[in-house]
Amino acid sequence: MSSLKAQIEQLENDLTASPMRISVFRDLPFAILRYDPAEEWKVRHEVRLLATRLTELGREVVRISLADLLWEALEECEGVATIVRMEQRSGFAAAQAQITKYLSDPVWAPLPDLLARKLAPLDPRRHVVFLTRAAAMAPHIYFMSMLLDQMKGRTEVTSILFYPGAREGENQLRFMNLPSRDALGTYRVKIYG
């Protein structure tokens, strides 16, 4: 069995256990399924299959694309055209910094607020959320560790972050395997893979 298949199987077993074995923190009901970025298409396929199996067992799976939240934030702020003009005028780094500001600054459209809004109508007894397309935040738009830290206490809905990157140490992950990114050790949630 491939490593990815084994990770998905372990995640599925923990999601179907009663009670679920995803998180020890009620105020941070998140877990991470880490995978190699080269396996993105395979992971998307496996996510669809896992969602189908969980649905057959009575769980309602809601997929939330972090890429969609990114585009939503851009539209809520100054629009994509503004970022395009900024990149043309000042370069990629300046455009990326502006997007980070949009997603971080309470004046704009903070990513944790956008995610909390999507999670608010869901029932923790019935729903499981799959957070997908995290690669949209590369290379340095928004740190996933920061997102999870900022979601503490904001939902009780079990949520799985599908994280493209490398594992280094017990709780350290390197986003997208990027050499320019330090492996971060602030994850306080269960990591599969």
The C-alpha torsion from 171 through 188 and 165 to 49, rounded to 10°, is 120
**Which residue type sits at 22?**
I
Model confidence band, residue 186 (pLDDT cutoffs 50, 70, 90): low
- Percent of the chain whose predicted confidence (pLDDT) is above 90: 83
pLDDT at 37 over 60: yes
Cite the DSSP H helix spans in the chain. 3-16, 40-56, 66-76, 80-90, 92-104, 111-119, 144-150
pLDDT score recorded for residue 16: 94
pLDDT score recorded for residue 1: 56
- Structural domains of the chain, ranges and CATH numbers in brackets: 3-65+110-192 (3.40.50)
* Dist CA 49 CA 43 (whole Å): 10
- Output 176 or 2, whichever has higher pLDDT: 176
The model carries a pTM of: 0.94
Model confidence band, residue 127 (pLDDT cutoffs 50, 70, 90): very high
Mean model confidence pLDDT for the chain: 93
* Bridge partners, 164 (sequence order): 35
- Between 48-57, 146-155, 179-188, the lowest mean confidence (pLDDT) is in 179-188
